[in-house]
Homo-oligomer: A and B are copies of this chain.
Amino acid sequence: MVSSEKPPAAGAEQRLKDLGIALPPPPTPFGAYVEAVKIGKLLFLSGMLPVIDRKPQYVGRVGGELSAKDGRKAAEIATLSALAAIKEHLGSLDKVTGVAKLGVYIATEGDFRDHPKVADGASELLLKVFGTEMLSGRIVLGVASVPLGMPVEVELVLEVAE
């Protein structure tokens, strides 16, 4: 296979390119806040939603009108938004040196229990982009609702090069 002849990807930007992933436009706030705040080596991202150009890509609850597969896809879109926000704030994803916390908050209905499957939509994308050496800590919760009726919200606290 040709791909095996490529040298190992040097960093997140190169991996993104190799994967053929195009980032969406960076998200813009729904109120009086900003999308990212850097304190020392930590970058705190605001809650990322499955929107493209402020338009919700999914509405509803997982375990209700939406399936775990829908939730997984929504988590992936929210994480793409997060990557776009990080890139906008830092200039390059290569400045990320660790992922302290990935929070995946899923609007669930009834007795839905497959939260990990939904959250893996976010985790597996981060894994592809940042590699196994930056596997994140993770908090996953089922919540009553997410802003604007969306099914998933993603939180990230990152370690970045100063």
Contacts and interface: CB of A to CB of B under 8 A. Distances in A.
Contacts of A153: 139-141
B147 A144 contact: no
Interface residues of A, number: 57
B115 A145 contact: yes
A139 B33 CA distance: 10
Contacts of A74: none
B46 A137 contact: yes
Given A40-B40, A112-B145, A145-B113, A137 B100 contact: no
A73 to B, nearest CB: 16
B137 A34 contact: yes
A95 to B, nearest CB: 14
A101 B44 contact: yes
Lowest 3 A-B CB distances belong to which pairs? Answer: A142-B145, A33-B138, A32-B123
6 contacts: A37-B99, A109-B144, A115-B146, A115-B147, A139-B153, A139-B155
